[in-house]
Structure 1
Amino acid sequence: MFYVAAAVVFGVWFMSAYGGAYGTEYFAGYLVEKSLSVDNLFVFVIIMTTFTVPEEHQQKVLSFGIVLALAMRAVFMALSRCWVPGSLTARRGAERGRVPGRCSGRGGPAGGAGGLVPDGEADGHPGAVAGGRQVAAGPEAR
C-alpha cells in the first residue's frame, strides 16, 4: 500500500509541476503497468506449475526471469535507437539539430535501411537518416 501511495503522491506532484496532460499520461502509464504486473502473476503461476518447478527453486527462477527481462529491455531500447528513426530519441536529437545515435546503414532491420548518421556523413549509408531527413536507399542513392 505504501508504494501505491508513493506513486499517487508523485503523480500529483508531477501533474502540478508539468501540467495536466503530462500528469494524465503518467497515471495512464501507471495503470497500464499495474495491470500488466497483475497479469504477470498469472503467467508466473502457470510457468511454475507447468514446468513443476520445486518450491525451493521458485525464487531463483523468478529472480532469473526478472533479471533476464530487464536485460532484454535494455538491449531492445539500445537497438531501437538504430532501428527506429522516428523514435523519441531521434526526434529529440533532430529538435536540437543533431542525430543522437550513430549506426551504420547496415544496422537496420532489413539489412540496409534505417541507420542514423550525423549531417554530411550520409553518403555511402543507404537508407540513413541525416539531419532528420531520410536519405535515399538503394543503387540510385550512389
Structure 2
Amino acid sequence: MGYQVEKSEEEWREQLSPAEYNVLRQAGTERPFTGEYTDTKTVGVYKCRACGSELFRSDNKFDSHCGWPSFYTPLAEDRVEYIVDKTLGMTRTEVRCGNCGSHLGHVFEGEGYDTPTDQRYCINSISLTLEPAEE
C-alpha cells in the first residue's frame, strides 16, 4: 500500500525513540497498564505519534480494563488499515495508521464489549499523542 508519509527505516529510527520505533515500526507492544493514556479522561483527539494523523476521538474511548487505551471506533475508516495477524498462535486483526503504516494495536470484535460497535480497538499509548480540546 502506498502511504502519504513514506520514510526509510533509517529516517524512522532518527525520528522515533527506541521504544516508539519498536512498537510503531516493528509491531511491538507496551506492557499492559503502563501507557500514559490507559486511564486518561482528557477530551481531545488522539493522533499517530509517527505522522500526526488524527485517528481517534476521546468521546469514543472507554474503560475496557484490558491494560491499553480502548476505543470503539476510529475517527474515520480511512484513518486506519487492517492487517491479518497470525503471530502468537492466534488470528487477530492488527490496526495500522492509514497515513504512514505504523502499528497501533489490534481490534477485537464481540458482543461482550458493550460498545455501540461491539468492537474494542486496543491501542498502544506509545503509538499515540493526545491533542487536548480547546476550552
TM-score between the two structures when normalised by the length of structure 1:
0.22
* Structure with greater contact order relative to length (CA < 8 Å, sep ≥ 6): 2
Higher Cα Rg: structure 1 or 2? 1
Q: Which has the higher helix share?
A: 1
Q: Which has the higher strand share?
A: 2
